[in-house]
């Protein structure tokens, strides 16, 4: 049995060609390069950006020379690239709050679980109510107080004009959760 590692790894001969007839080992360089078939093309992809959302153009060639010739078309290729970038940018803006149909103009509340059931998700979100002036005689020196309701608290605030120093504003009246009265 011969030693498979006896051959010099730095020799100029290919170890797979040892013992093969010379005609099989040599490559035929006289044949011209055949055009590539449908299953074996050259495809050049030109992307307008790094992200997955960037528009791209693919140029398919039957050979490398064909792909290069298509890319050297000058003005028509530049017009195609410019137009693709413009249309891609416009199309992307449609999903980011750009020009939308009138039916999609109002914001939609994200779905939430309430008491074990899914609520919302297709109903427009209610607009946040502006603080309404107080009723029932709760007024301060500056006029009717502003009623503010938050998830964990409720209060009536002074309606002094914006920019009035804090020391000139009336103290807030906080709602007592036990009695329901503002104090």
pLDDT of residue 33: 57
Q: Which pLDDT band holds residue 143 (cuts at 50, 70, 90)?
A: confident
pLDDT of residue 130: 47
Provide the terminal-to-terminal Cα distance of the chain, rounded to the nearest Å.
104
pLDDT tops 60 at residue 27:
no
pLDDT of residue 102: 47
Task: Tell me the CA distances in angstroms from 164 to 64, 145, 161, one per residue in order.
Answer: 75, 15, 6
Please name the residues in contact with 59: beta carbons below 8 A apart, sequence gap of 6 or more.
Answer: 43, 44, 46, 67, 70, 71
Residues linked to residue 182 through DSSP beta bridges, in sequence order? 175
41, part of any domain: yes
Q: Rounded to an integer, what distance in angstroms lies between the CA atom of residue 96 and that of residue 1? A: 72
Query: Per the structure block, which two tokens stand in for 6?
Result: 């006896």
Higher-scoring residue by pLDDT: 158, 128: 158
147, part of any domain: yes
113, part of any domain: no
Do residues 120 and 109 make contact, with C-beta atoms less than 8 angstroms apart?
yes
82, part of any domain: yes
18, part of any domain: no
69, part of any domain: yes
Q: Rounded to an integer, what distance in angstroms lies between the CA atom of residue 130 and that of residue 149? A: 10
70, part of any domain: yes
pLDDT more than 70, % of the chain: 57
Domain, as residue range, for 49: 35-94
Query: 4-31: b or e for each residue (b if 16 or more CB lie within 10 Å)?
Result: eeeeeeeeeeeeeeeeeeeeeeeeeeee
pLDDT tops 70 at residue 157:
yes
- Mean confidence (pLDDT) of the chain: 73
Q: Is the pTM of this model over 0.75?
A: no
Q: Rounded to an integer, what distance in angstroms lies between the CA atom of residue 93 and that of residue 85? A: 12
Residues linked to residue 143 through DSSP beta bridges, in sequence order? 140
Q: What is the DSSP letter of 94?
A: H
Instruction: Please tell me the total count of domains within the chain.
Output: 2
pLDDT tops 80 at residue 9:
no
142, part of any domain: yes
pLDDT digits (tens, 9 = 90+) for 72-90: 888 888 888 888 888 877 7
């Amino acid at each position: 049995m011969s030693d498979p590692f006896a051959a010099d790894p730095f020799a100029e001969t290919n170890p797979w060609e040892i013992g093969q007839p010379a005609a099989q080992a040599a490559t035929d360089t006289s044949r011209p390069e055949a055009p590539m078939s449908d299953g074996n093309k050259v495809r050049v992809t030109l992307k307008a950006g790094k992200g997955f959302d960037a528009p791209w153009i693919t140029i398919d060639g039957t050979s490398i020379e064909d792909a290069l010739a298509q890319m050297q078309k000058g003005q028509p290729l530049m017009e195609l690239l410019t137009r693709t970038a413009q249309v891609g940018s416009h199309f992307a803006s449609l999903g980011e709050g750009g020009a939308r149909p009138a039916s999609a103009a109002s914001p939609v509340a994200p779905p939430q679980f309430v008491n074990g059931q899914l609520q919302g998700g297709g109903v427009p979100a209610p607009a946040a109510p502006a603080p309404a002036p107080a009723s029932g005689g709760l007024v301060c020196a500056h006029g009717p107080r502003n009623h503010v309701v938050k998830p964990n608290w409720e209060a009536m605030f002074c309606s002094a004009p914006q920019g009035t120093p804090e020391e000139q504003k009336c103290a807030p009246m906080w709602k007592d959760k036990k009695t329901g009265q503002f104090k």
